[in-house]
């Protein structure tokens, strides 16, 4: 099972994926009985578009069994929204993740120190997955030491993949057209392991499904 932990596309593949929904997609999806596993969150780029009602919607949908993870959420230094405001909205989603016991899919651009500080301050137990990780191995090691997991997509630094232990290593297609199988093959080549050994995504999904069924 080659889990795609973060994609914006609807895939026809037999491999399970966590599809990221926009708020308007979520509005439609959670009122139907369509199957699948999804993530929804307030992305730092779009914080200004949201209101109190947005968080209320998120709290309503998050109870749905198909709602697997909160995200993308996080911090981005390249947007004009002040970092204080981004941190506030991110914190609300961290607290929600802890309250409902669901992982976080994190978007982080240039704010890794702030991210690690939040991790230390709030000491969360839920899995934090930094998605689309492209950083150098030094940054990967820092993130791992802080207790984060890393997800690799089409573009990544091979040495960072190499230093990431298998239980913290996830794979994603995000918005790219490369297949998840291709990404897993590349990662397995770097890790000098069998493709089936790259099972962090599968383990996370399995423990989630067990938890909602029992």
Give 16 or 41: the residue with its C-beta nearer to Zn ion.
41
Provide, rounded to whole angstroms, the least separation between the CB of residue 214 and Zn ion. 31
Provide, rounded to whole angstroms, the least separation between the CB of residue 194 and Zn ion. 28
Does residue 66 contact residue 40 with C-beta atoms inside 8 Å? no
d(CA 95, CA 54): 15
Give the closest residue to 106 by CA, choosing from 80, 129, 83. 129
Among the residue ranges 120-128, 156-164, 168-176, 204-212, the one whose residues contact Zn ion (CB under 5 A)? 168-176
Q: Is 121 exposed, middle or buried (0-12, 13-18, 19+ CB in 10 A)?
A: exposed
Among the residue ranges 24-32, 113-121, 137-145, 167-175, the one whose residues contact Zn ion (CB under 5 A)? 167-175
What is the rounded radius of gyration, in angstroms, for the C-alpha atoms of the chain?
A: 16
Give 4 or 174: the residue with its C-beta nearer to Zn ion.
174
Give 170 or 191: the residue with its C-beta nearer to Zn ion.
170
Give the closest residue to 150 by CA, choosing from 73, 175, 75, 166. 166
Structure tokens that stand for 95 in this block? 């607290």
Provide, rounded to whole angstroms, the least separation between the CB of residue 123 and Zn ion. 26
Among the residue ranges 86-94, 121-129, 171-179, 201-209, the one whose residues contact Zn ion (CB under 5 A)? 171-179
Give 133 or 191: the residue with its C-beta nearer to Zn ion.
133
> Hey, which residues between 102 and 131 contact Zn ion (CB under 5 A)?
none
Q: What angle in degrees, to the nearest 10, is found between the helix axes of 83-100 and 52-61? A: 20
For position 172 contacting Zn ion by CB under 5 A, the verdict is no
Give the closest residue to 91 by CA, choosing from 65, 73, 64. 73
Among the residue ranges 10-18, 81-89, 166-174, 185-193, the one whose residues contact Zn ion (CB under 5 A)? 166-174
Among 19, 115, 168, 174, binds Zn ion (CB under 5 A): 174
Provide, rounded to whole angstroms, the least separation between the CB of residue 72 and Zn ion. 5
CA-to-CA dists, residue 80 to 45, 84, 86, angstroms: 9, 11, 10
| Interacting residues toward Zn ion by CB under 5 A | 174
């Amino acid at each position: 099972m080659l889990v795609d932990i973060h994609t914006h596309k609807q895939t026809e593949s037999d491999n399970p994926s966590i599809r990221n929904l926009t708020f308007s997609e979520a509005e439609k999806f959670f009122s139907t009985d369509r199957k699948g596993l999804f993530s929804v969150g307030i992305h730092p780029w779009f914080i200004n578009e949201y209101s109190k009602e947005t968080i209320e919607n998120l709290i309503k949908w998050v109870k749905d069994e198909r709602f697997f993870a909160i995200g993308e959420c996080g911090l981005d230094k390249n947007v004009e929204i002040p970092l204080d405001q981004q941190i506030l909205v991110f914190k609300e989603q961290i607290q929600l993740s802890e309250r409902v016991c669901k992982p976080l899919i994190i978007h982080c651009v240039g704010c890794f120190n702030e991210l690690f500080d939040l991790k230390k301050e709030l000491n969360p137990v839920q899995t934090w997955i930094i998605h689309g990780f492209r950083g150098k191995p030094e940054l990967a090691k820092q993130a791992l030491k802080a207790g984060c997991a890393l997800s690799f997509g089409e573009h990544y630094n091979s040495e960072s993949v190499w230093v990431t232990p298998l239980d913290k290593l996830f794979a994603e297609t995000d918005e790219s057209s490369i297949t998840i199988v291709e990404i897993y093959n590349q990662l397995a080549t770097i890790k000098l392991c069998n493709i089936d050994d790259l099972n962090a995504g599968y383990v996370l999904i399995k423990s989630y499904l067990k938890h909602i069924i029992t």
